[in-house]
Chains A and B, each alone.
Chain A
């Protein structure tokens, strides 16, 4: 099954290698990995998606926690969450074909962010299936798609979520343990937006 982990890690050289090396050692392929600054100074937030057996989730999370530079790990599993991915797609387009692509972009609620005489660049944010839908349509015309750049998934739990990172950073709160969010029926990731 597909696992999604959200982790807060120290923003230092070599930390990403440690995370990646753990998955290499466990012989698990990383489907996507996004990293960037978080709301906490000195901490990066990463979203890591990988394919592994259902039982592996516990062990991966526990192993991530064993890395000294990892401050918090959340296994999103089936919890209600919003997932997004950003894609930049460069498409060959002569002036005559532009209008057709403009229409397509409109339908997919994407944006044109660059335009030259031979090509244009589409920016699109959404869930994986939506991005793949657009790419598929664009590919119907052979040779039209020149380049694709995808960010990988970014995931955030829905609603108020007291991350244990707050506790890890020394903020006092009354909670004994991280609240377990029960899987909700309407948790189709991300289609709310």
Chain B
């Protein structure tokens, strides 16, 4: 046993060496020895250099059954599942696992709060399409994950959360830091497990990964008792393979459904495609585009669908729903056919259901059968993976010159409705020297060429981002749509940066949400990663203030917000930054952030009482919009120096 252990340690350490060398985000650690926060990294590289290098041995534990501790099985299984980074926070009940971590080629990112760990795993998954992993200890460590888990659940994001728990002998006795985390997370996970035996670990973990990424993805939590981490068991990665994935038994796409859908599309005069997050999850970007182009159908997007269809495409209508453009919502209300693809008719998208798209037949292509007829009754349901269904449907759709439909009249109608509206609500709001959040988003988009990954928080800035930053590529907007979790942006951006270190990553957050997880600034510094942070600072909890303005007679109860000087706060972390007060300063500030070698913070002091237009009040119909006033009173009153 001792001999085997030794050999394995060597093997893994050597792989650790290889990984570290290859990882751009970590490259600087060895050379910049002066930083006190580096203790952990130094140990890691020391360990790695000491080991002999034999790449062939590094995967040995995956192919040869070996006797390992539960902790080692945990990491070995994660390595086998392709995990290279985890986000976590140690503590008593998970210590055995942390003790074994150094033997494995997995980089651990130490977060400042476990909510951040879950969001990082989430951001990692959204940016890469892979499963993100968060680790926490029992009790408060585990409960701190809950908001992050619920965020992933509502947006169908594949993450696996590992928590330690007290020893199985004292489970249920209110032992120190004991909490029933499988009970607590039951309604916000796709599935969860309690593992109290080392021999169950590999099988359960592999099943957890399969559940997280299959079908409609979602978060899975694996709670591991301390004794299961300490006990030893035979580890056989291959034997622990879960049974073949069994698709939901109610998935159903048949010829008659496809024929019906094709018939509806062919005969439609005013069709609209509604594309959602499923486009990304299923990888159906090409298929959606082909469908739209072949049948000349305009495409409206949900918030999470942005990037699934290029914003610059002539058939793109942009985001629909509560803060969607007037022409999208009007097109939906006038449509005679809606083709809903990988979206779930959320209330923020439909407004009141009583008046939603009453003239339209509806086709719903969706992977989760429980979404069919949940909010909106549909005429044809094609229940299956979006890409596969579209592959089957496309051969039945003719082009204009080939038995298909002529969509030009409908497109002209929509185009005409854009005219004046576009200028009034969204574009070219005159700056008159003031700084509007919309300008910041527009300039950010222009300067980055739309190539950045933007991670937003929740609130007004999130909607402005969705309106003014045009996303042409999938996975370039990362945002909490379903749960609307403030504090999401900063940690999720850290996860996204680890997923794609080569990409330019921007955090866009309000002054309120940023303060919820601002502690993760230290994580950025410890990990030496390059993230640009744009705080849209209006001194209010802006979206709540906007609701108070519209619906509560401007009673701004508890929404004015005193914040620290964010530039100084960044400086305290060793992150440079600057405040931006005028539109003329935006370009140079954004460029300064982009050209800085490390993280950079911009504090945009924007118009305090600006609102997001247009807006459909909650519970109203899509056609009942509040429009931007022709003469915005703010333009006269704001004092701009």
Contact = CB atoms under 8 A, between A and B. Distances in A.
Contacts of B370: 59, 62-63, 66
A58 B368 contact: no
Nearest to A67: B191
Interface string B175-191: 00000001100110011
Contacts of B190: 66, 68
B374 interface: yes
B368 A66 contact: yes
Contact of B191 (A17, A21, A59, A68): A68
B374 A66 contact: no
Counting contact residues on chain B (CB < 8 A from A), the size range is 10 to 19
Contact of B250 (A21, A25, A61, A67): A61
Given A59-B374, A65-B369, A66-B370, A14 B249 contact: no
Contact of B372 (A17, A62, A65, A68): A62
A145 B439 CA distance: 77
Interface residues of A, number: 18
Given A55-B373, A59-B370, A59-B373, A25 B248 contact: no
B186 A17 contact: yes
Contacts of A63: 370
A171 interface: no
A113 B372 CA distance: 50
A48 to B, nearest CB: 16
Nearest to A59: B370
Nearest to B252: A177
A18 interface: yes
Contacts of A164: 249
B106 interface: no
Interface in A1-25: 14, 17-18, 21, 25
B287 to A, nearest CB: 24
A164 B246 CA distance: 13
A21 B372 contact: no
A168 interface: yes
A73 B370 CA distance: 13
A68 B208 CA distance: 11
Interface string B183-213: 1001100110010000000000000000100
B373 A65 contact: no
Interface string A51-73: 00001001101110111100010
A66 B246 contact: no
A14 B182 contact: yes
Interface string A155-173: 0000000001000100000
Contact of B248 (A17, A55, A59, A65): A65
A156 to B, nearest CB: 20
Contact of B186 (A21, A58, A66, A168): A21
B249 A25 contact: no
A166 B190 CA distance: 25
Contacts of A62: 248, 250, 368-370, 372
A52 to B, nearest CB: 13
A86 to B, nearest CB: 31
A86 B194 CA distance: 35
| Most chain A beta-carbon contacts within 10 A, residue among B191, B249, B373 | B249
A168 B372 contact: no
Contacts of B369: 58, 62, 65
B622 to A, nearest CB: 23
Nearest to A70: B249
Contact of A168 (B191, B194, B249): B249
Given A25-B187, A66-B368, A58 B373 contact: yes
Contacts of A17: 183, 186
Contacts of A72: 249
A65 B250 contact: yes
Contacts of B183: 17
Contacts of B248: 62, 65-66
Interface in B356-378: 368-370, 372-374
Contact of A58 (B191, B249, B372): B372
A66 B191 CA distance: 9
Interface of A: 14, 17-18, 21, 25, 55, 58-59, 61-63, 65-68, 72, 164, 168
28 contacts: A14-B194, A17-B183, A17-B186, A21-B187, A25-B187, A55-B373, A58-B369, A58-B372, A58-B373, A59-B372, A59-B374, A62-B248, A62-B250, A62-B368, A62-B369, A62-B372, A63-B370, A65-B248, A66-B248, A66-B368, A66-B370, A67-B191, A68-B190, A68-B191, A68-B211, A164-B249, A168-B246, A168-B249
Given A18-B186, A62-B248, 13 more contacts: A14-B182, A17-B186, A21-B187, A59-B374, A62-B368, A65-B369, A66-B248, A66-B368, A66-B370, A67-B191, A68-B190, A68-B211, A164-B249
Interface of B: 182-183, 186-187, 190-191, 194, 211, 246, 248-250, 368-370, 372-374
